[in-house]
Structure 1
């Protein structure tokens, strides 16, 4: 019988370093993920980190609106729209087997641009453990070493010193500021976003070895074998 990994190769991806493991989000992860979000993401006193405060929606388990229904639709949509011209890897982050956060990689027309965007978050109880830095290093290493990316881009709301510190530790450098719009429960607001970029030359790798499984199948699925072979 065929396996899910054969049908959808991203499910075979596994990235491990020390106590941290990254795998593409599966439906079996969702109950634990919903509980993690419900337990809180934001640090008090820091800017809201997302374009939309999806994590602050009213908790309405089993209802047609609110959290987690709207978030489930977003996570499932990423899988349903996965294609070589635009893809998003939603990676569930586990530390010592416990789900602690999410690490995303997103690319559009990657075969032509070589650019990957990264985004991440951790449950509030897991902030300050070094996991945020390590999971970002693992994701950026995947983009450079296995997918042949030329640079990874990200951003954080000005004033979010925790996110800024993680970016510096991974080797991101400033790449300009711009004004963006956030959608909150209180209304729409304008905030400044600091853009950052990391290249293979500035990338700071983790101290421990990184193990990657399933990258061959992922490359075939994305149609990017030639890009990596041409490096």
Structure 2
């Protein structure tokens, strides 16, 4: 079976209302169509690469191809899990968690997006919290880092709400111009102190060696 070779396909993270997992082909198509409806307001760009401004059909195709690309490139010393977020069985966005040399660094970073029609319901915070549960409780991470543009207060608010500490400023690029970035760091201790979302995990054990996360 395919899952015997790509064990992350069996990974599940669940909260009281969300499920994070890899999608089926039809679910991925639905997700791509959701992205084409919009994932942020026209006057705000949350990404360094403005892929979200592609015209509808190209944007949908990009979401699908990026998902396949990320999945095909997973290896123990470098991986990115594009976990799709589901509410009542419907895909509503993507919560990515990624790491390089995880066996040594035990550090993860993350990116995410949420369909516009699902924003403003606290889903963004809950899906990041679910990802952190996977990272710390499931994979044995020691810290998580995040970066957000100062012009994207929603992302900064999520980080602060979940216990990330400010960890310096940086300079990025947004739509061809310099954009200031806020860096954040979340230690295991801070995560444990700020946990407010209960989550359960399924299918983690077969993924540990695949992701360089075997327990010492």
TM range (shorter): over 0.9
**Equivalent position of 1:63 in the other structure:** none
Alignment of 1:157-172 (within 5 A): 157-172=149-164
Q: CA deviation at 1:43?
A: 3.5
Q: Structure 2: state its 5+ residue gaps.
A: none
1:214 equivalent among 182, 203, 206:
203
Q: State the TM-score, normalized to the length of structure 2.
A: 0.93
**What is the alpha-carbon distance in structure 2 between the residues aligned to residue 67 and residue 210 of structure 1?**
31
1:9-38 deviation digits (Å, cap 9, x = unpaired): 000000101010000244332211111111
Alignment of 1:1-231 (within 5 A): 2=1, 4-43=2-41, 47-60=44-57, 66-182=58-174, 184=175, 188-203=176-191, 204-207=194-197, 209-226=198-215, 230=216
Report how many residues are paired: 214
**More displaced, 159-168 or 211-220?**
159-168
- Point out the structure with the larger helix share: 2
Alignment RMSD = 1.6
Q: CA deviation at 1:68?
A: 2.7
Contact preservation (8 Å) 2:10, 2:202 = yes
**What is the alpha-carbon distance in structure 2 between the residues aligned to residue 113 and residue 158 of structure 1?**
27
Q: State the TM-score, normalized to the length of structure 1.
A: 0.87
Bigger Rg, which one: 1
Q: CA deviation at 1:169?
A: 1.3
Contact preservation (8 Å) 1:173, 1:196 = yes
